[in-house]
Amino acid sequence: MQFTWVYQKEHPQQVKYFLKEQGISKGLLAKIKFQGGEIKVNDQVENVLFSLTDNDKVTIVIPAEGEHETVLLDETPIDIVFEDEHVLVVNKPAGVSSIPAQYHPNGTMANRVKAYYKKQAYENQVIHVVTRLDRDTSGLMLFAKHGFAHAKLDTQLREKKFTKKYQALVSGKMNELQTHGRIELPIARDYTSLLKRTISPEGRAAETEYWLDQAFSDAALVDIQLHTGRTHQIRVHFAAIGCPLLGDDMYEGRMDLGIQRQALHCYDLRFYHPFTQELLEFKQPLAEDMAAVIKRFKD
């Protein structure tokens, strides 16, 4: 895989500093140098100390990544929302983890994506997860298809240029829900559990913004945008205001309204393409189980 830029500055600059401005890390430079890549200036191979002048053409050739040999293959088909040579957006079903764990090495989205890459005989088969979802959360997930794209997307995440929105079904103290509101409560580990989180003054700052979409007799559909990324943030915050997610038994959500997993779905994902800078936006309809609950409320 190769990338080309034209140097357009009045003053000379070494290649290594110019490439750093393009998002090339020291690690990627080392990979180019030692694993079969190339740096070219005006189609001639040069090193990182070469001094660029105005209108020089700079090309890097990045060696293929191969694959994660330890990631097992899961041939279950994936629901592809968008794909090009740099990014892959998929619709994750509920009940599937994002990445393997020590005691659950297979059956995750990473395993499924690897099998897909293998079947397509892609040059790069390392799995780069950019946005994860909890096991029982459905919706849009983003993968980078090579390390350079992953690095540039991670920069966007740090700079808060991503928009990721969710829809959730909640119940409980419905009078606590405003048409539009923010929940700003610090979240910490709950030391009575390996997984659970709790509200605590000693926790990390967390902010959840929401909009009331539809109100029913026993529940409500809310649109949600996270302004921080704490573990279980949406689930903990709505439980804290007395409106836990349906099906979320960990946080005392109701289990008698037709859904047996946390009723949470990532429906809107927006980010800038790592190389064209085009704003990409994807929307995914509610998962069938959540849609069925809403239909039941409306009937």
Which residues are catalytically annotated?
134
Strand-pair category, 44-45 with 38-41: antiparallel
**In this structure, what token pair is assigned to residue 173?**
């103290």
- The Cβ of residue 73 has, within 10 Å, a number of other Cβ atoms equal to 15
- Cα-based torsion angle of the residue sequence 231, 234, 237, 240 in order, rounded to the nearest 10 degrees: -100
- The Cβ of residue 37 has, within 10 Å, a number of other Cβ atoms equal to 18
**Strands in the chain per DSSP E:** 2-6, 13-14, 38-41, 44-45, 51-52, 57-61, 66-67, 79-83, 87-92, 124-125, 128-131, 138-144, 163-170, 180-184, 187-189, 197-199, 207-215, 220-226, 264-272, 279-283
- The Cβ of residue 153 has, within 10 Å, a number of other Cβ atoms equal to 24
Q: How far is residue 289's CA from residue 231's CA, in Å, rounded to a whole number? A: 23
Q: How far is residue 124's CA from residue 295's CA, in Å, rounded to a whole number? A: 43
